[in-house]
Amino acid sequence: MVHQSLLTTEVPIDRIPLLRALASNAERDHALRPHVRLRVLSDHETVFSEGQTAEYFHFVAKGRVKLVAVAEHGRETILELCGPGSAICIPGPTSGASYCCSAIGMEPGSEVVAVPREDVLAAVERGGEFTKSLFDAVAGRCMRMCQRVSEMAAGQVEQRLARLILDMAGPPELAVPNANAGHDGSSTLRIPVRLTRQDLADLCGTSLETAIRVMSRWTKERLIEREGRAIVILDPEALARVCRQPVRRARPTE
């Protein structure tokens, strides 16, 4: 089945920090909008494919998009999850090369804004707030990647998985009050993304068997529970304590 995006010029620029900086005055905003498009995605619709010429910068306005690499045998490995406000795969359109991965919507109704690379690069040449914001976004992504590599090299699987789950839950304001949640009556956090155990294993750099073992133990300990592919964090503070545990040298199987 081929999914069709809904294309529209009603672009929610205010939701995306980089676009707010790009359209920082009325004249520039008026000139930019005719070139910008908003795609409303179907479930698991592809935004762009690995190897495709990178003609647009893409930004998530709503929902979630996953960046994946596809092996020769067809198996997808998730590289990153991108939420609202995120820029997707900046290196491709910046360099004029191809996209280094594929981007796929994770929720029906996810929204992605596409801006022609010429408009973005012209704004970079002008300098100012947008150029600084773009550099900040690139630097932030590099720092996250470095942190992830460091955690995979030195951290325990439990720490990596706990941090991943808490990060996916989003900011604290997404907490859902629940008098029976956790060990201390704290509120729950519901992750607004459906992921398989294999997805979780890929994202924290471990084997499927290890991810299943850790998730099963946390379910028994009432730190989390599964609702199909959705995850509900019953005890956010307990997971936060796991993240703060002293780092031990990882076992070879982790």
Structure tokens, 234: 């019953």
The DSSP bridge pattern shows strands 188-190 and 37-40 to be unpaired
How many whole angstroms separate alpha carbon 242 and alpha carbon 237? Answer: 9
The 10s digit of each residue's pLDDT in 145-167 is 777 777 667 668 898 899 888 88
Mean per-residue pLDDT of the chain: 79
Domains of the chain: 6-149 (2.60.120.10), 155-243 (1.10.10.10)
The 10s digit of each residue's pLDDT in 25-65 is 555 556 666 778 899 999 889 999 999 999 999 999 998 89
Number of Cβ within a 10 Å radius of residue 111: 22
Pick the more confident residue, 170 or 136: 136
Contacts of 124 (CB under 8 A, 6+ apart): 130, 131, 134
**What DSSP state is assigned to residue 98?**
B
Residue 15: predicted pLDDT: 78
Give percent above pLDDT 90 in the chain.
29
How many whole angstroms separate alpha carbon 236 and alpha carbon 240? Answer: 6
